[in-house]
Amino acid sequence: MTNSLRELTIFAAMRILMVCLGNICRSPLAEGILQEKVKKAGLHWVVDSAGTNHYHTGDAPHPLSQKIALINGIDISQQRARRFTTEDLTQFDKIYALAGDVLNDIQRITGNKFDSAKVDLLLNEQYPGKNLDVPDPYYGGEPDFHEVYELLDEVCDQLILKYQNNNAAK
């Protein structure tokens, strides 16, 4: 590897994708939270979100996801749900499923292209090997959305520390 190529690799932006079922509750919050933390840390990362089903494609985040984000100083109102695709495997450095059923969907969608080194459950970053789900607040009330926000906020802090430190070590 040439020095210039090595430098580009070192300074390349981290590309992270958050994935839930419909891309209107959990993953838009995760995207918004991590984007805000990335911005505050002065990092040049790309953060996006997607869903494994098509039910909400093109829709804005759930009104309670938007409300909870705004309460915490984050505006996610411009996000629009999109469906996860196999191409996402090549577009992102790390893909986080927010629940086990979503991880199974990602495996099904990507088939033999699935890369377990690239795709993992998000909460494994905070609770390694526990394979915990971020609860789906879709059928719940506002307190459920607050709970999801708190979980995501904590794990996004872990992501900043992990990948910021990994990039600094190179």
Question: What are the residue numbers of the active site?
Answer: 20, 26, 136
User: Which tokens is 17 given?
Assistant: 């994708």
Instruction: Report the alpha-carbon distance of residue 28 to residue 22 in Å, rounded.
Output: 10
- Report the C-alpha gap between 68 and 152 in whole angstroms: 12
Q: Is 152 helix (H, G, I), strand (E, B) or coil?
A: helix
> Is residue 73 exposed (0-12), middle (13-18) or buried (19+ Cβ within 10 Å)?
exposed
Residue type for 57, please?
T
Which residues have a Cβ under 8 Å from the Cβ of 18 and sit 6 or more positions away? 26, 27, 30, 31, 34, 47, 48, 49, 50, 96, 98, 122
Task: Report the first-to-last Cα separation within the chain, whole angstroms.
Answer: 14
Closest CA to 149 of 139, 161, 134: 134
